Amino acid sequence: MMTLSIKRCVSSTIFGVLALLGSGAAHAEQHAVCYNCPPEWADWESQLKAINTKLGIVMPPDNKNSGQSIAAMIAEKANPVTDMVYLGGISADAAINADILKSYKPKGWEKISASLKDPEGRWFTIHSGTLGLFINTAALGKVPVPQSWKDLLKPEYKGMVGYLDPTSAAVGQLSVMAANLSLGGSYENLDPAIKYFKELAKNQPIVPKQTSYARVISGEIPILIDYDFNAYRAEYVDKALVRFVIPKEGSVVMPYVMGLAKNGPNAANGKKVLDFLLSAESQQMWGNAYLRPVFPEYLSAQAKSHFLPDSEYARAKPVDLKRLAAAQAKIIERYKNEVQ
């Protein structure tokens, strides 16, 4: 009964999206479902519209995070609902271990670096983002813009700092690891991060479970540990008074990946969408949305001009996905038991 209810919900959402997209989309006969493709995150809104326009495939927006998506796909194994999933790279191995992904090597797969894809084709990177501080400078008032992880512990930032919940969100788990590596820890030794987040808890941080872009724009969360692409979108698209800061101690770069769902109900359409996401057009769109496309040649000079200088990005290092995935369970357990 629960699966039937989920399918009815997806179906009703699709019809709602058709109505929103207008009469041209309303005649589209094809659809596909992607878990964790929220319009507010990474400009999925533009990608969903392009997929509808170019492929004639309607995809309803989905606001799950990586952990919630994997949990839903495990629960729905007997009757899958989704055709594909978008995940933070930290969750790629977890999805493989859960046996919810099917091998598919889309057009252009062979050009992706070996470290950014599963050799069997169960997941592959489409773009990456750099973690740092997404700051609403207007909401800070007279408080100075923080420049480091340690700045966030200062009393003047009490109640101003937010980060996504590490017990469920990939970006939350990455926040823990980014602080950990930057403050002297390792993938195996999480003590610096646990100590740091325990100290940060005294400053009454805001810890949402879902994407919180709008809450930063509104000033409800003045400082969010988040990605550069969200901050640049806020600054250059929404014209908000925001800044992006890469902490002085350092940070990390995270790839975001796609995978074809095992036994998805619209697998053929899912494959078409995955092909599109590696196309020149889609990759350029990711770059124009201030993400680093997996094929760097598609990041235009104009888009790159909005990024911080390369000298600032030199402090952000690529994550080791295997070691990060191996630490994921420990991040969740220690945060839940020692910080939450």
Domain locations in the chain as residue ranges: 2-128+255-304, 129-253+307-338
How far is Cα 21 from Cα 171, in angstroms, rounded to an integer?
30
Is the fold of 2-128+255-304 the same as that of 129-253+307-338? yes
Helix (H) / strand (E) element for 181: namely helix 170-182
**Bridge partners for 117 per DSSP:** 124
pLDDT in tens, the chain (340 residues): 333 333 334 433 443 443 444 434 344 469 999 999 999 888 899 999 999 999 999 999 999 988 899 999 999 999 999 999 999 898 999 999 999 999 999 999 999 999 999 999 999 999 999 999 999 999 999 999 999 999 999 999 999 999 999 998 888 999 999 999 999 999 999 999 999 999 999 999 999 988 789 999 999 999 999 999 999 999 999 999 999 999 999 999 999 999 999 999 999 999 999 999 999 999 999 999 999 999 999 999 999 999 999 999 999 999 999 899 999 999 999 999 999 8
Q: Which overall architecture, per CATH, does domain 129-253+307-338 show?
A: 3-Layer(aba) Sandwich (3.40)
Tell me the CA distances in angstroms from 155 to 108, 119, 175, 194, 244, one per residue in order. Answer: 50, 48, 21, 19, 21
- Quick check: 117 and 124 in contact, CB under 8 A? yes
How far apart CA 156 and CA 203 sit, in angstroms, is 9
Neighbours of 122 (CB within 10 A): 22
Burial 139-150 (b: 16+ CB within 10 A, else e): bbeeeeebebbb
Q: What is the pTM of this model?
A: 0.81
CB 161 within 8 Å of CB 223: yes
How is residue 242 written in tokens? 């925001």
Tell me the fold of 2-128+255-304: D-Maltodextrin-Binding Protein; domain 2 (3.40.190)
